[in-house]
Amino acid sequence: MEFRPLDVTVLSAKGLKDVNLMTKMDVYAVVSISGDPRTAQKTPVDKDCGSSPKWHFPMKFTLDDAAAHANRLTLVFKIMSDRSLGDREVGSVHVPVKELLDAASVVDGKKSDDVAPPPALENVMSYCVRTPKGKPKGTLEFSYRFGEN
């Protein structure tokens, strides 16, 4: 079994649903592979950010390369409001890892005749955030880079 490193930087979100009634939201994100709690990593809480948190927080994951290419892995972002009476989910984003692999291979020049950019290049992606009821509300931005397997 071969493994591949994945570096993710959770950058920001905007236009999120405000789940607090009286105060500005304090927001953090939990990122995992296919929702597995053993892989979950958390950003710091962005205090008083309301519906537009900014984190710029790096994370590292190790992926089963075969499962990623077979479209069996999903990068899951859960956006949460930090509250004294219990945290509340603001929304989530589910990104198939294969989609990221395919996008990276085009950017890295493997599917084109262009000269490959430097290996340190990170791809920046924006995805629609879905509320717990499934409605689109807001955008999440993150960057990622695959390492060599």
Over pLDDT 90: what percentage of the chain?
Answer: 78
Closest C-alpha among 140, 113, 145, 118 to residue 129: 140
Amino acid at site 135: K
149 — pLDDT class (breaks 50, 70, 90): low
From the CB of residue 49, how many other CB atoms can be counted at a distance below 10 Å? 19
Does pLDDT of 7 surpass 60?
Answer: yes
Q: Which residues are CB-contacts of 113 (< 8 A; sequence separation ≥ 6)?
A: none
The pLDDT value given to residue 116: 43
Q: Which one has a higher pLDDT value, 13 or 117?
A: 13
Q: Over the stretch 87-114, which tens digit does the pLDDT of each residue have?
A: 999 999 999 999 999 888 764 455 544 4
Q: What's the pLDDT score for residue 85? A: 87
Enumerate domains of the chain plus CATH numbers: 3-142 (2.60.40.150)
What pLDDT score does 113 carry?
40
3-state helix, strand, coil in the chain (%, to 5): 15, 45, 40
pTM: 0.89
Residue 32 has pLDDT above 80, yes or no: yes
For residue 146, what are its two tokens?
A: 């695959």
124-144 pLDDT, tens digit per residue, is 999 999 999 999 999 999 999
Question: Amino acid identity, residue 145?
Answer: R
DSSP string, 99-118: HHHHHHHHHTTTTSSSPPPP
Taking residues 80-92, report their average pLDDT.
95
Please give the Cα distance from 107 to 116 (Å, whole number): 8
